[in-house]
Amino acid sequence: MSFKDLPPSHPRYHSLLMRHLITEGGKKSIVAESGLIAHGRGEAFDYLLGEETKPFALKAAEAAAALILESERPILSVNGNAAALCPDEIAEIERISPVAVEINLFYRTPKRERAILKHLKKHGVKTVLGVKKSDTLRLSSLDHARRIVDRNGIAAADTVIVPLEDGDRAEALVREGKKTVVIDLNPLSRTAVSGTVTIVDNITRALPLLIRKLKETAALSEEERRKILDEYDNTAILKEAEKAVRGIL
């Protein structure tokens, strides 16, 4: 049976839709082979979270929106899995907020760069950084392809949104003095722990939630946004998330 034959009423419809987007993304070189494995790990954590947005993710999304709106140069770092699962949401974030979009890949090949660029453009992303060779430079604290970033994007950013990021790179961004908004289903990952604000939720729920919070938070005063950030405690949020996956909450 192909995914197209599956009725939306199927109890596992959303989970199977994500698998479909990831495997189709793999066929088009958008998703790396390891992206399929990463997705499987995410699925396991999502299962433990009841496949729903928990209160700690809501609080983190609100703080993330406040941080993004307080930032001078916020960048959304897009990898293969994020592009395959949420291209419309990435386009909407670019449209409604000051966030710029950069392709930043762990398994970087020209073929994948082109495939992701085409996919994002097709879904309405206007400007895509990270693909023009003359604009790329290297983060000093990382080795090989992973350190390539856009001089007008991540290199110059004060805040980077990193969904499904590898731990080394997430920590390198923090060492470079950047604030990070992490989206990761595993609250124990080095990426999650290194985040300024960590949204422990599936990217397919976290980005629509972030869009909603960006709209709500944009209506607040600068003072009110500052208050949200001052009161936010990422360590406490991660503890709550860990309790949830361990079944204690």
For binding to ligand PTJ (CB under 6 A), which residues are involved? 32, 34-35, 38-39, 41-42, 45, 79-81, 85, 105-107, 164-166, 183-186, 189, 202-203
Q: How far is the CB of 168 from ligand PTJ (least distance, A)?
A: 9
DSSP H or E segment with residue 161: strand 159-163
Angstrom CA distances, 94 to 21, 72, 105, 110, 134, stand at: 21, 15, 19, 24, 23
Residue closer to ligand PTJ, measured from CB, 117 or 225: 117
Residue nearest to ligand PTJ (CB): 42
We find the least distance from the C-beta atom of residue 1 to ligand PTJ, in angstroms, to be: 23
Closest CB to ligand PTJ among residues 31, 225: 31
Nearest distance in Å: CB 104, ligand PTJ: 7
Element (H, E) at 101: strand 100-103
Smallest gap from residue 108 Cβ to ligand PTJ (A): 7
Minimum distance of ligand PTJ from residue 121's CB (angstroms): 17
Quickly count: other Cβ atoms within 10 Å of residue 131's Cβ.
16
Q: In the complex, what is the shortest distance from the CB of residue 88 to ligand PTJ, in angstroms, rounded to a whole number?
A: 15
Edge-first strand listing for the sheet containing 100-103? 128-129, 100-103, 74-78, 159-163, 179-183, 197-199
Q: Closest by alpha carbon to 154, among 200, 196, 105?
A: 105
Cβ burial, residue 239 (10 Å; 0-12/13-18/19+): middle
CB nearer ligand PTJ, residue 70 or residue 176: 176
* Burial (0-12, 13-18, 19+ Cβ within 10 Å), 230: exposed
Q: Which is nearer to ligand PTJ, 41 or 151 (CB)?
A: 41
d(CA 118, CA 159): 25
